[in-house]
């Protein structure tokens, strides 16, 4: 059987007793024609394979190059060398795949993240990306565990839809019509009746609306899938294709929603700290190194692990949008005119404002509620008793240090007439959304939900500053490689 091998992670914690083992992996380095550092992706720690002089012929020795793949049989023995408890005394060594040392882009030295982004197909083989993607896996697993423990139903909402959940118009169209010769209506507009689905369709920006339908039967559901936004934002926090987790809960108000979101984020971090400490320690050291390159003033106050511990041990700050605006207006930063964008009640806070609140003012995650209705989506519940002209909705955004907005959510408008009026005012066609409005017609209940941007969460836990470095193959404006 080809695959009768032991993973390196397991070997490294096995007591050596000269037992016969088989190991397979990729060469990270080879020195003195004897010592091979072998890695199989199960951990950043390589196992040392010792090929005694004379065991291999010269031709084979030459083929042991960085990146080559090997199958080794040998004995697991106690290591004399420093830095490892065990090593493998090779009995046989087979080259599974050669790797031309001259051409292999990953040399045993430090490469910049920018360079590694260009060779994203190989970067999984570095320590940094090994740690990031093992953590990403763990966090995804923890998402399902969290909701499963709470009895939520995992609902797979569609990728192709005919509605714009966020009403922001940032959608990628899905069509099979020929774009240079599309069928036209009499008025010259494209005739989507002739399109594949007989109507205009797009990639989903959010599974929320379909999620609400599920919550109206199962009480509590969550989605976890890819979402797509054609927003032209070339930042370290935006992707055109990102993964989102969207729980939706019947019989929940905005406060229940905040409590769940806070508990969820803390659970994910705790899970990573319990199961991925080795990778977190590696990334903690990596970040500390990166921070050293920055001017003193720009450095984060806490290292990665200290930050994560702090976040699980302390409650998030909770403030209203109105309070947030007042804090910004009262800040020395504002008075010294250091914000690029102006501050006044009614603005959609820019990331510089959000980061000031969390990084400078509160120094912890902050949940902001009660946003102006004019800057939020149609489905959010109108707050009662607002001053005319200062209408707010029961929205909540969670802002995290170093990230900015990590969660967006709200209590939903469950009152049919209020919702219809809001949709009409925002020019959302009521007939086309009749399926959505049915939830308000037949047994409507107070309900709430939120969306956690998975990559932003992975950024927060790994300390990676660019979102392109926490997704395998990033899709951003003018970039769709691999
Ligand atoms: O705030 P957003 O747009 O909210 C929604 O989509 C709601 N339907 C969620 C809900 O209530 N069920 O997006 C939610 C989160 C943001 O807070 C952010 O973390 C992430 O999704 N996000 C992005 N992540 C990466 N790249 C982008 N372009 C993102 N846009 C939003
Ligand atoms: Mg948002």
How far is the centre of ligand 1, averaged over its atoms, from the C-alpha of 346 (Å)? 20
Q: 207 CB under 6 A from ligand 1?
A: no
Ligand 1 atom nearest to 406, measured from its CA: 19
**pLDDT level of residue 296 (50, 70, 90 thresholds):** confident
Pocket test for ligand 1, best of 166, 244, 470 (most atoms within 8 A of CB): 244
**pLDDT level of residue 61 (50, 70, 90 thresholds):** very high
How far is the centre of ligand 1, averaged over its atoms, from the C-alpha of 211 (Å)? 15
How far is the centre of ligand 1, averaged over its atoms, from the C-alpha of 414 (Å)? 21
Q: 208 CB under 6 A from ligand 1?
A: yes
CA distances from 49 to 18, 35, 67, 307, 360 (A): 14, 6, 15, 37, 49
The per-residue pLDDT for 230 is 95
**pLDDT level of residue 382 (50, 70, 90 thresholds):** very high
Segment 280-294 mean pLDDT: 95
The per-residue pLDDT for 1 is 64
Segment 171-178 mean pLDDT: 96
Regarding beta strands 153-154 and 220-228, do their DSSP bridges make them parallel or antiparallel, or are they unpaired?
parallel
The per-residue pLDDT for 169 is 76
Beta strands of 136-200 (E only): which ranges?
153-154, 160-161, 173-174
Q: 238 CB under 6 A from ligand 1?
A: yes
Q: 222 CB under 6 A from ligand 1?
A: no
Share of the chain above pLDDT 90, in %: 93
**For the segment 133-167, what is each residue's pLDDT rounded down to a tens digit?**
999 999 999 999 999 999 999 999 999 999 887 87
Please give the CATH topology (third level) of the domain spanning 125-170+205-469. BirA Bifunctional Protein; domain 2 (3.30.930)
Give the start-to-end residue ranges of the domains of the chain. 8-109, 125-170+205-469
Is residue 107 predicted with pLDDT exceeding 90?
A: no
The per-residue pLDDT for 427 is 92
Share of the chain above pLDDT 70, in %: 100
Is residue 168 predicted with pLDDT exceeding 80?
A: no
> How confident is the prediction for the chain on average, in pLDDT?
96
* Contact partners, residue 109, CB within 8 Å, separation at least 6: none
Superfamily of domain 8-109: Nucleic acid-binding proteins (2.40.50.140)
The per-residue pLDDT for 435 is 96
**Ion ligand 2 residue ranges (Cβ < 5 Å):** 408
Write 34-39 long-range contacts (CB < 8 A, 24+).
36/64, 36/70, 36/72, 38/8, 38/70, 38/72, 39/8, 39/125, 39/130
Q: Are 27 and 13 in contact (CB under 8 A)?
A: no
Residue among 416, 413, 85, 137 nearest 272 (CA): 137
How far is the centre of ligand 2, averaged over its atoms, from the C-alpha of 427 (Å)? 20
Q: Are 195 and 175 in contact (CB under 8 A)?
A: yes
Q: 212 CB under 6 A from ligand 1?
A: no
Is residue 2 predicted with pLDDT exceeding 80?
A: no
């Amino acid at each position: 059987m080809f695959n009768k091998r032991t993973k390196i992670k397991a070997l490294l914690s096995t007591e050596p007793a000269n037992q016969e083992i088989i190991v397979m992996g990729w060469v990270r380095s080879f020195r003195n024609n004897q010592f091979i550092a072998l890695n199989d992706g199960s951990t950043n720690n390589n196992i040392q394979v010792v090929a005694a002089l004379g065991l291999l012929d010269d031709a084979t020795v030459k083929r042991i190059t960085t990146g080559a793949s090997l199958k080794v049989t040998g004995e697991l023995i106690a290591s004399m060398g420093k830095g490892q408890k065990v090593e493998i005394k090779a009995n046989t060594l087979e080259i599974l795949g050669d790797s031309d040392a001259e051409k292999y882009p990953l040399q045993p030295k430090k490469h910049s993240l920018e360079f590694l982004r260009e060779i994203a197909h190989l970067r999984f083989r570095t320590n940094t990306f090994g740690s990031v993607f093992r953590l990403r896996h763990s966090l995804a697993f923890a998402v399902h565990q969290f909701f499963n423990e709470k009895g939520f139903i995992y609902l797979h909402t569609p990728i192709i839809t005919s509605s714009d959940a966020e009403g922001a118009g940032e959608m990628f169209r899905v069509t099979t019509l020929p774009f240079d010769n599309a069928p036209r209506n009499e008025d010259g507009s494209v005739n989507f009746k002739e399109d594949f689905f007989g109507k205009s369709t797009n990639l989903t920006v959010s599974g929320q609306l379909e999620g609400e339908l599920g919550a109206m039967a199962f009480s509590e559901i969550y989605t976890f899938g890819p979402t797509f936004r054609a927003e032209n934002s070339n930042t370290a926090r935006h992707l055109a294709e990102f993964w989102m987790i969207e729980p939706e809960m019947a019989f929940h108000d905005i406060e229940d929603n905040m409590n769940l979101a806070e508990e969820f984020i803390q659970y994910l971090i705790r899970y990573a700290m319990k199961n991925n400490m080795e990778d977190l320690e590696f990334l903690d050291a990596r970040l500390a190194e990166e921070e050293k390159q920055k001017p003193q003033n720009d450095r984060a106050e806490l290292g990665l692990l200290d930050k994560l511990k702090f976040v699980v041990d302390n409650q998030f700050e909770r403030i209203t949008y109105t309070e947030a605006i007042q804090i910004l207006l009262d800040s020395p930063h504002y008075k010294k005119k250091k914000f690029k964008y102006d501050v006044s009640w009614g603005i959609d806070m820019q990331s510089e404002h959000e980061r000031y609140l969390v990084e400078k003012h509160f120094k912890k995650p902050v949940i902001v509620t009660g946003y102006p209705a004019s800057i939020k989506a149609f489905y959010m519940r109108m707050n009662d008793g607002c001053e005319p002209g200062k209408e707010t909705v029961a929205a909540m955004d969670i802002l995290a240090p170093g990230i900015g907005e990590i969660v967006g959510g709200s209590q939903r408008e469950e009152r049919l007439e209020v919702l219809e009026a809001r949709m009409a005012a925002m020019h959302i066609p009521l007939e086309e959304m009749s399926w959505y409005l049915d939830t308000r017609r037949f047994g409507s209940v107070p309900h709430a939900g939120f969306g956690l941007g998975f990559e932003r969460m992975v950024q927060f836990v790994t300390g990676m500053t660019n979102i392109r470095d926490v997704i395998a193959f990033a899709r951003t404006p003018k970039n769709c490689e691999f």
